[in-house]
Amino acid sequence: MLNKYEKTMKTFEYAIIGAGLFGSAAARYVSQHSDSVAIIGNDEPANWQAHSENFGSHYDQGRITRGLDSNALWSELALASIEAYAEIEERSRIKFYHEVGSLQVGPSPQKTDDYIAKTAAVGFAHQLMFQNYTSEQFKDVLPKMAFPEGFSVLYETELAGYINPRDLVKAQLNIAVGQGATLIRQQANDVSAGSEGVTITLSDRSTILAGKVLVAAGAWSEFLLNQSFGFELRPRTIVLARLSQSEAERLKDLPAAILYYDDPAREVDGFYMLPPIQYPDGHFYLKIGGHLRDLVPPKSAEELNAWFKSNGSEKEAEGLKEAMFDMVPGLQAEELITRPCVVSATPDGDPLWKELVQNQIYICAGGCGAGAKSSNEIGRRGAMMMLGSN
Ligand SMILES: Cc1cc2nc3c(=O)[nH]c(=O)nc-3n(C[C@H](O)[C@H](O)[C@H](O)COP(=O)(O)OP(=O)(O)OC[C@H]3O[C@@H](n4cnc5c(N)ncnc54)[C@H](O)[C@@H]3O)c2cc1C
């Protein structure tokens, strides 16, 4: 199999495009099976404004992780990934998992398909450790947080908290490279299948020939492949509240939290908040994100890249700030900063693993705003799909 690729300079048995959360996990698995693996992907730009290429959705210090989910598949993907965290940390010597617990909060259920009822049912089916409180009872459990009257709080204290996505990517890449994979810090601008293999054209115009290629370029995957999979690219805004040392200390025991009002009248709903986390500038920040209903998806890589150079949506930021101060009464923020990001939502809400050109090109993408914590298992399944087909 390898011989026919030995004719040209840069040839690999396998190539993975996208050195983000899914791609780095896939690369770790593929490089366990082959010593001819390339990982092609841009690194996080030091200066976003000066960056002319694609971005990633993992440039942050915190992503919530939890086994509890209203969707059984997402719960399975998360649990399988959480189980692997310790091994990845040990092998890479990079700590990225912080087991601080996680809350899921929503209107107390009236029907079995309400969010809280569905989430608890998946939790019971997967034998997860969690407590169920009313928002009134929860005031005694954690007085530093507040939720609306008549809501339920599912509190997962084990196998839940947050991961540092930058460090997880670093850890996966370290292991993959240690296993012999080659990391190529460039953007792929074209992928085409031919009789000799798959030709990948890089941003410096050089080419690589690979036997099989897995595209894991996140929200840019459709643009790279020039093919639609029905993704809705949701431009997202986050708000970071900079905390003083004393405020960070006061709030240091907060768990991660997800709050759904499930109220169509709200322009922004589906909030998630991370506890105080130290960022590269040395400060601690409390982060909140959410879901603005009224969004305008970018239609091209250029529009998406331009979104990453903006400050996000003012309307979404206003809704987020209000929710943050409601959830943490008395919060003292020294500064509020907004940042843009993007979520790739698939039509069925599951990640997409698909063979696109028989035995040659595959895709693993569609994190649906929940893929960071589960990226190890999602990437592993992508790797197995590519390795398993002949
Ligand atoms: C604001 C926000 C909050 C989130 N919060 C959570 C959370 O709390 N918990 C959770 O589990 N998930 C969360 N997510 C989702 C999670 O971050 C994504 O599901 C995850 O990043 C998807 O991984 P990916 O590898 O598909 O994409 P990415 O992580 O974006 O990686 C794709 C990589 O491909 C690279 N790339 C792009 N185009 C090319 C190209 N042409 N050639 C080469 N490389 C290319 C990019 O530079 C990037 O490095 C959140 C997402 C956002 C936006």
Mark whether 325 and 258 lie in a shared domain: yes
* pLDDT of the residue at 344: 97
Q: How many domains does the chain have?
A: 2
Q: Where does 34-71 have alpha helices with state H?
A: none
Question: What atom of ligand 1 comes closest to residue 188's alpha carbon?
Answer: 42
What pLDDT does 294 receive? 87
Domain membership of residue 79 (yes or no) is: no
pTM (2 decimals)?
0.96
Distance from residue 166's CA to the centre of ligand 1 (Å): 10
**Ligand 1 atom nearest residue 367's Cα:** 19
pLDDT tens for the 390 residues of the chain, in order: 444 444 445 899 999 999 999 999 999 999 999 999 999 999 999 999 999 899 999 999 999 999 999 999 999 999 999 999 999 999 999 999 999 999 999 999 999 999 999 999 999 999 999 999 999 999 999 999 999 999 999 999 999 999 999 999 999 999 999 999 999 999 999 999 999 999 999 999 999 999 999 999 999 999 999 999 999 999 999 999 999 999 999 999 999 999 999 888 899 999 999 999 999 999 999 999 999 998 899 999 999 999 999 999 999 999 999 999 999 999 999 999 999 999 999 999 999 999 999 999 999 999 999 999 999 999 999 999 999 964
* Residues 123 and 254 grouped into a single domain: yes
For a mutational test of ligand 1's pocket, the pick from 29, 40, 51, 57, i.e. the residue with the most ligand atoms closer than 8 A to its C-beta, is: 57
For tokens 């690979």, name the residue: 210
Same domain, 156 and 170: no
Residues in the chain: 390
CATH number at residue 55: 3.50.50.60
Residue 68 lies in a domain: no
Between the CA of 384 and the centroid of ligand 1 the distance, in Å, is: 20
Q: Are residues 218 and 317 in the same domain?
A: no
Decide: helix, strand or coil at residue 221: helix
Atom of ligand 1 lying closest to residue 301 CA: 38
Would residue 75 count as lying in a domain? no
Report yes or no on 85 lying in a domain: no
Residue for token pair 């997880």: 168
Domain with 370, as residue range(s), is: 3-59+166-229+348-388
Buried residues in 84-118 as b, exposed as e (16+ CB within 10 A): ebeebbeebebebbbebbbbbbbbebeeeebbbbb
Same domain, 308 and 246: yes
As a whole number of angstroms, the distance between CA 152 and CA 150 comes to: 7
Regarding whether 130 and 245 lie in a shared domain, the answer is yes
**Do 235 and 225 fall into the same domain?**
no
Task: Give the pairing of strands 335-345 and 232-243.
Answer: antiparallel
